[in-house]
Chains A and B, each alone.
Chain A
Amino acid sequence: MKTTGVVTGIISNLVTIKFDGHVSENEICYVDLNGVKLMAEVIKVNGKNAFAQVYESTRGLRQGDKVEFDGHMLEAVLGPGLLSSSYDGLQNNLATMEDVFLKRGEYTAPLDHDKLWDFTPIAAPGDKVEAASWLGEVKEGWLPHKIMVPFAFKGTYTVKSVAPAGQYKIDDAIATLTDAKGNDVKVTMVQKWPVKVAVGGYKEKPRPYKIMETHVRTIDTFNPIAEGGTGFIPGPFGCGKTVLQHAIARQGDAEVIVMAACGERANEVVEIFKEFPELVDPNTGRKLIERTTIICNTSNMPVAAREASVYTAMTICEYYRAMGLKVLLLADSTSRWAQALREMSNRMEELPGADAFPVDLSSIISNFYSRAGIVKLNNGETGSVTFIGTVSPAGGNLKEPVTESTKKAARCFYALEQARADSKRYPAVNPLDSYSKYLEYPEIVEYLDKKVRPGWVADVMRAKVIVRRGKEMAEQINILGDDGVPLSYHETFWKSELIDYVILQQDAFDPVDSQCLMERQDYILTEVLKVCDRKFDFETFEEYGKFFKELINVFRQMNYTPWKSEQFYNYSEKLNNILSNGNN
């Protein structure tokens, strides 16, 4: 028998419900509004009163309206067909909704239940299996999608039978397992998992030891993110957070990408809807949409579902990770998620923490970031979830609760800076404030020196020092004047400008420059450092400026030409000419 209740109070999307029987924290319930069922989640229980956040507008809801509790938490539906789909925060399929406007109480199935999938068995009768063990495989586009023992299964099972290769629907049983007590259980291609609980089913979670390439120079060269690592991008509005995230989504070296548009602009998601089916994944040559799942709960969609959206996205990522895949999760923006928490906490009249955010904000954020990671599966394969979130600090001030809490949880920090954005130095990542903790991991250094070239990390560090010194020189020049400082100050300043213009700045809208492969990043850094290692002997500071501006111009023109094309070599030739004419 399901627990039922009646509405006793309403403030915006928070309802209080008087219930009979038992309810659990985070249990899903449905409020009946003249026959339309509005989904809600229990967030607090006090005696026989439950407080629930409704995932929809509560307009028209009355005191006394009936509520039915569902007996489980908010769950994601996991199975073949997740890729290329567009969901709202509760995993309703947006593409199968008919009306132009979102209708209250319209919940659409996340997966196609009629589609036939080509199934190939992996497990054989007699195999011992447990949660997340691979039973078989279907081709989801190009991707080998593993059909697994549901994550919720506890203990060890013996495979009794596996369906032969052939075409099946997701609800067809593809295996029968026998549990320790001898009971048979059928397994289909679809399973459910509560989104707020981390998916387990792996052997260990080592420290990240590889790099996830983004082909964005300021990240890969200067502050690389590890595969299975975490990073965040805070920045005031207008500094290019979304452009940077989209660039990573387009170019990131991952097999599966989940984008959670959490409380942001709808037109930005439309851009993905329109462009990803057209754009080609540089890593596989297939359309980007084939490796992408979009979770879209834009700023005007219900606030409570916004909070759910990041968890839904993470659960889908963990599902693909359990198949041994390299998954990248991008969430834009985690601040909107935090604000959703704040709105509810406020309506529940909880004692507020800093800036009226709930006091447990920091632990909620770090708990979420901890779900990322590279894992060794029980069968020896590896899978990973790399997570990059954006943060929208109020007033652009990084000393606010969401940024501070995230800084504790994430290992890479890409600080977008207003001053850089104002002078159109995009991406506006401040090279000195930003960091990647992974560059301190010996295993990462070793990996990079092997993958790129020996001595790579040392060279990167050298470039960072030049940028830092260049900034100091620029300050001196500003204080003392161009003539008031030794010429060597100008030389150092211009060397740092060279690094800035040629390596750190990158045109996200140019088809060539936007995608800089590691090999090319190596070439650019090497060539730029060759210039930086030289000592120049110009007579006046103007000559330094003129020389370096010309150099920067040629380097940048080269960045716009296809790698190793004829034009590319022409510019490289031109560079050599300038450098051999420059005095030394």
Chain B
Amino acid sequence: MATTNAFARTYIQLDSITKATVSLHAEGISNDELASVAGRLAQVVKIKGDTVTLQVFAGTEGIPTNAEVKFFGEAPSLEVSEELSGRFFDAYGNPIDGGPRVQGEKRFIGGPSVNPYKRQQPSQLIPTGIAGIDLNNTLVTGQKIPFFADPDQPYNQVMAQVALRADVDKIILGGMGLSNDDYLYFKQAFEAAGALNKIISFVNTTEQPPVERLLIPDMVLTAAEYFAVDKHEKVLVLLTDMTLYADALCIVSNRMDQIPSKDSMPGSLYSDLAKIYEKAVQLPDGGSITIIAVTTLNDGDITHAIPDNTGYITEGQLFLRMDTDTGKVIIDPFRSLSRLKQLVQGKKTREDHSAVMNTSVRLYADAANAKTKLENGFDLSDYDKRCLEYAKEYSVKLLAIDVNLTIDEMLDTAWGLFRKYFSKTETGIKESLTAKYWKD
């Protein structure tokens, strides 16, 4: 972050200190302005008369009432240039990889929104090789979609795998509350893939103060907008873990005495998250920002305010869970959704795509019903038994996250399963399609 001190005004008397904020008397201060409090970066969040409240990113531990406060006269910013490529930064945009400072054009973070009228309709498919995504929940450039996963699921691994298989120009990682192990995992995975030069990382680990995380998405997206808007590149943004980001929002609003709404989250949670996710965009001249995020859940509970608000903002969600019948981590076809899939399914992929997807999921649902019957001790019909067999094979061959197939291979695999376990009538697929793809 650029912190030019030339015009800095300095104060040395704090009026109040909370765990995340300090207040003082100061004049001519502007909203959102960056400051430093005893050397720690802070931002103006409230002005009331001549009392100014600052959010101190690194926390206020040990800050005395006579701490030196310097105001920098402008909002937080990032210097952008091609030099960002291949680099690792902290939440303030300072290098943490031992390399030099990045020289470039100063951009204020958290900038304005794209005029919706200027947006293009997303239409480019992002293949990942994972059928739970490509077949059932196809990703499209300009989309924003989170993984919903319990903390014990391998979401970071899956995300890294998706990112490295995706055909994009830049991958920008925003790590919020990342464990040091996961940070090293990402670093190693990117290095191993030989892809470091197209990757940029902004990382806040669990060792660092939680409020700093609030800067990460804006830093990441400012860099992403530089490459997508100025350089017309296809940018993939990875944000993990947005639940920890929301927790940091919660801490700040709590310290500012705001009235909490559902699950102690601030009432503005929806707008706060939307401001980040809506940066995903397909631009008119080919550049795009696609956001894949992680929202960790508490025991699969998607009604909690964080996943709930996220679900209303993002264009679908990818729900990771362990399939106890097969021992595989799968992308749950019932609870996952890609809202943009119809923009590419059958248009950029084979004509039978959406019919095959719907049918395979419906049959999987029938299997779930059969399983309930079985658990309740009822006799299974022949159809029920076939559904159960189908479900196992469907789970292993298509839903599991460890598959790596082309979309045509996925479709052929699904037709193979239909043929093996069901009749044409039972699949209910349009006759024009069965005539072509049902090979006896």
Interface residues of A (CB under 8 A from B): 8-12, 16, 57-64, 86, 94-95, 97, 99-104, 236-238, 263, 265-267, 269-271, 273-274, 296, 298-301, 303, 336, 339, 342-343, 346, 349, 352, 355-357, 392, 394-397, 422-424, 478, 481-484, 509, 542, 545, 549-550, 552-553, 556-557, 560
Contact = CB atoms under 8 A, between A and B. Distances in A.
B7 interface: no
Contacts, number: 212
Nearest to B75: A59
A343 B268 contact: yes
A224 to B, nearest CB: 28
B111 interface: yes
Contact of A10 (B31, B74, B376): B31
Given A62-B29, A62-B31, A64-B28, A560 B430 contact: yes
6 contacts: A58-B31, A102-B113, A238-B317, A352-B259, A478-B376, A481-B376
A139 to B, nearest CB: 25
Given A59-B75, A346-B259, A549 B425 contact: yes
Contact of A62 (B30, B267, B281, B337): B30
A581 B334 CA distance: 37
B326 to A, nearest CB: 20
Given A296-B116, A339-B267, A394 B362 contact: no
B436 interface: no
B381 A482 contact: yes
- Nearest first, the 7 closest Cβ-Cβ pairs linking A and B are A395-B303, A299-B274, A300-B278, A481-B378, A237-B311, A94-B117, A356-B261
B406 interface: no
Interface in B313-328: 313, 315-317
A274 B302 CA distance: 32
A265 B381 contact: no
Contacts of B50: 63
A394 B305 contact: yes
Given A267-B122, A422-B335, A356 B315 contact: no
A59 B31 contact: yes
Given A238-B316, A274-B121, A299 B278 contact: yes
A342 B284 CA distance: 35
B262 A355 contact: yes
Contacts of A343: 267-268, 271
B112 interface: yes
A60 B31 contact: yes
B94 to A, nearest CB: 23
A236 B316 CA distance: 12
Nearest to A103: B112
A103 B115 CA distance: 9
Given A238-B337, A299-B274, A339-B267, A61 B116 contact: no
A59 B340 CA distance: 33
Contacts of A509: 342, 354
B379 interface: yes
Contacts of A483: 378-379
B30 A61 contact: yes
B350 interface: no
Nearest to A96: B117
Nearest to A274: B121
Contacts of B308: 237, 394-396
